Amino acid sequence: MIYRKRRHRQGVSGGFFHFQDSMNRTVSGPGDGDFIQLRDEFGNEWRGVAERQSDDTIRYRFRTSQGEFISGVSDGYGVILRDEKGKTWRGFVD
């Protein structure tokens, strides 16, 4: 029997996240692996996670202490998020 070494997927890499909605409201901050901590221009803190899916997309979920949330996916070209009010946020990871 021949055994092949399996490559295990690494977690989500970190970086600096920057998102902007249609009203030019921005949310940005650092992320390290699966844990991400962002801050908007009003000083609200958004905490979130990144989870790699089976089809190599990455799913993001962020929440504030006031109960607001943003979630969405990345396909390697950019990140598209949607908040609870239906606004679309677009961004990137450096």
Which pLDDT tens digit goes with each residue over 61-91?
Answer: 999 999 999 999 987 788 999 999 999 999 9
- The pTM for the full model equals 0.80
What gap in Å lies between CA 61 and CA 81, rounded to an integer? Answer: 9
What gap in Å lies between CA 46 and CA 72, rounded to an integer? Answer: 14
Q: What is the CA radius of gyration of the chain?
A: 15
Give the per-residue pLDDT at 71. Answer: 95
Where are the domains positioned within the chain?
15-93
pLDDT above 80 (res 53): yes
